[in-house]
Structure 1
């Protein structure tokens, strides 16, 4: 059953979006910075700690082990205690660990803190994705998930210049290395944002004093229409969810996405250095260019996906775009201009995939299994992030260049697209196009 939207709905959703999205977006920027800044820190840490590439790759991957173990419990706890308490706990804990990274002196300490960072941050992204389903029906969901996930792109956009400037400008201040200042400065905002989430967000639409009773009733009607859709899976229990083969296949598709994305994200600074760029600040500037392209692409592609209520082919278009960009990187053979163009194309495709994927997943899962389903798929998928930096590092070391790892990542994206096209079929209910927004 498809509900026709009205101009009043547009005003209601504009009010909702301004109330909840800015804080969630900024929090995701900080979360992603704390997740990926080790890729920039390693450029300077190698000079003081003498860690090998294998140590950094393993540390980058261990983050996702903690993520895997604690993601489902965190989402279940969110449903029980609410988003405000959950985000307060998550952000205070991960921010503290992120700052403690400045004290690392041995590989063991590095591994332990990266594990704890993943464990504490585990519930943030799946928790926010679940939270967005409380507010937005499918006709608006992909673009709102895209806006939230712009945080990752924005973080990648500013990570290079910001990290380079911190490490270069603060190096030696108070007797600390630049990489130590990097972890301190970029970890500090998380606990502050956790406190803001406690005071500024509400757990459910029914708790929003800034929505009228009429708006709350209208929102319930739009969301209830989604949950009555015949396209939903028939999960009456957790056992039914675990027995559903589509859930496991979707988990595999997401694993491939995450593996490919983190292989590119983690090695981007090293790639740019291999193209003849030596200055840390310049590496950061060049690393920000692909993110500028991705920010525009993610909004346009996801808006198109919502407008047409089509997910499979939009997902496939993103995967093919990423694979095409990687092909350009291989052909460029280190030529700076062409390599940057290939990286821009790659990031454009990569950025569009997660919001479309999780919108597709939320349309498939029924309300009863949505919290566990999102966390399960996300946690299994993040195994890819634990494995891919080490695998690509081994490939690069064995082959002496990055071409083989690029071919591997191309294959991951093409296989993910094949899985989505083969396994997911568009139900008749989603073929009805919603009324165009006024």
Structure 2
């Protein structure tokens, strides 16, 4: 295969992989995000029916991330060992069943136990997908692929917010509360998609029958080139990755990002309801979708531009600063319009920054070290979801002000931006694989395709 033909085959394979894999992975992430965040929609009704206090709810919302963090690394190493196809099926089926069982969380101990088990069941899902995408997409297309995958978070609120709101409005149907219907239906949807994943996913390009032989070879070669480049600059063992200074610093940065993210997400329905002067229901569900629509636009545009120009670091810093400002302003907004604009800036910033963030560790992690290192970063970062509700509630009670709690969350986002500026180096060479920028790759591939057609 000539160099130009290889470029053409790689470009064609990348486009096919985007079309085949990303919509399905996106559906999986929508359900994952919905099942971990729908607790925010159930809060008031759940507390009313069960008698949970604010502090008990905050602990239960956050304890999910303890189970999640404890089992992240083992789960991702199992995915590396057994393949994404079977392991993702296992993850989704078990977390869907546990999520559906949340309908029976009538006491604080049961609530805590199910939230913890939900974290255990879902552990490895997100870092597993990040690792999985690194096996399919060269570095120069990776932020774009991750950006499309990250649509799942805002889409979970664009579609899941109204869905959760409408399910809450089913209160009393067949003798069950609306929050019970919400947990059961959304949990069983996840399990059904998990069974589908076993038949739909392929572990690597070499296994994909929907790619031509030349496309499989070209994509495997490109991903292999990136893996060799990463291996030359990173740890060569799982233990080395788990103790690598760069990995630990990225874990701290991701922890700060997640404090901001989940401190907003868990209480967003209540915050929007307060801005609108109404209760949480279908209306709030639809309005809550607006900031996430803005996040979808940002997550579509920014990773593409960053891939094209190699500016992942600069964009990540700017987006996290925007997010921090949005979170702070949303707490002191004089009216609903300004508050919603601020929340849109916050959501756009912390969602669009994350696919850029995940290009940093994959520059020097590959194979089993990548599976372990990515899982460790996500594991430590996910503790932000445990800390955020407790931290926000404590600060709000101490200062008798919701604005104070939001200010702390905004400060976490600013701190993450500062650490990226200080600790994350610009790439030494153009990507992918010591090769070219995304724009150069596409231009060469288009030229190769044209040359092939002329011949």
Is TM-score (shorter-chain normalized) higher than 0.5?
A: yes
For residues 259-305 of structure 1, give each alpha carbon's deviation from its aligned partner in whole angstroms, at most 9, with x where no partner exists.
Answer: 11000001111212222431422221221110010000011111111
Once the two structures are overlaid, the 10-residue window that deviates more, 266-275 or 342-351, is 266-275
Q: What is the rounded CA distance, in whole Å, between the counterparts of 2:225 and 2:303 in structure 1?
A: 22
Q: 1:178 to 1:360 in 2, by over 3 A?
A: same
Q: 1:230 to 1:254 in 2, by over 3 A?
A: closer
For residues 347-399 of structure 1, give each alpha carbon's deviation from its aligned partner in whole angstroms, at most 9, with x where no partner exists.
Answer: 11011121111112111324341110110110011111111111101111222
Unaligned 5+ residue runs, structure 1? none
Q: How does 1:12-27 map to 2 (within 5 A)?
A: 12-27=13-28
The match for 2:264 is 264
The match for 1:248 is 248
Q: What is the rounded CA distance, in whole Å, between the counterparts of 2:230 and 2:42 in structure 1?
A: 49
Q: What is the rounded CA distance, in whole Å, between the counterparts of 1:229 and 1:8 in structure 2?
A: 21
The match for 1:227 is 227
Q: What is the rounded CA distance, in whole Å, between the counterparts of 2:122 and 2:395 in structure 1?
A: 29
The match for 1:314 is 315
The match for 2:159 is 158
- What secondary structure does 2:233 align onto? coil
The match for 2:168 is 167
TM-score (norm 1): 0.95
Q: What is the rounded CA distance, in whole Å, between the counterparts of 1:35 and 1:230 in structure 2?
A: 33
Q: How does 1:71-220 map to 2 (within 5 A)?
A: 71-168=72-169, 170-220=170-220
The match for 2:33 is 32
Q: What is the rounded CA distance, in whole Å, between the counterparts of 2:216 and 2:224 in structure 1?
A: 12
Q: What is the rounded CA distance, in whole Å, between the counterparts of 1:56 and 1:308 in structure 2?
A: 44
- What secondary structure does 1:428 align onto? coil
Q: Output the aligned Cα RMSD.
A: 1.8
Unaligned 5+ residue runs, structure 2? 447-455
8 Å CA contact 2:162–2:286 kept in 1: the answer is yes
The match for 1:289 is 290
8 Å CA contact 1:230–1:429 kept in 2: the answer is no
CA displacement at 1:80 relative to structure 2: 1.1
Does residue 376 of structure 2 align to residue 372 of structure 1?
no
The match for 1:394 is 394
Q: What is the rounded CA distance, in whole Å, between the counterparts of 1:118 and 1:230 in structure 2?
A: 31
Q: What is the rounded CA distance, in whole Å, between the counterparts of 2:232 and 2:240 in structure 1?
A: 13
8 Å CA contact 2:307–2:437 kept in 1: the answer is no
CA displacement at 1:324 relative to structure 2: 2.3
Q: What is the rounded CA distance, in whole Å, between the counterparts of 1:284 and 1:396 in structure 2?
A: 24
For residues 191-233 of structure 1, give each alpha carbon's deviation from its aligned partner in whole angstroms, at most 9, with x where no partner exists.
Answer: 1111111111111211112222211221122112212327953
For residues 287-340 of structure 1, give each alpha carbon's deviation from its aligned partner in whole angstroms, at most 9, with x where no partner exists.
Answer: 11100100000111111111112221011011111122124324414x111111
Q: 1:330 to 1:190 in 2, by over 3 A?
A: closer
8 Å CA contact 2:35–2:186 kept in 1: the answer is yes
Q: 1:260 to 1:84 in 2, by over 3 A?
A: same
8 Å CA contact 1:259–1:385 kept in 2: the answer is yes
CA displacement at 1:416 relative to structure 2: 0.8
TM-score (norm 2): 0.92
Q: 1:93 to 1:40 in 2, by over 3 A?
A: same
- What secondary structure does 1:430 align onto? coil
Q: What is the rounded CA distance, in whole Å, between the counterparts of 1:105 and 1:240 in structure 2?
A: 44
- What secondary structure does 2:33 align onto? helix
8 Å CA contact 2:230–2:362 kept in 1: the answer is no
Q: What is the rounded CA distance, in whole Å, between the counterparts of 2:239 and 2:231 in structure 1?
A: 20
Does residue 13 of structure 2 align to residue 9 of structure 1?
no
Q: How many residues align?
A: 434
- What secondary structure does 2:277 align onto? coil
Does residue 344 of structure 2 align to residue 348 of structure 1?
no
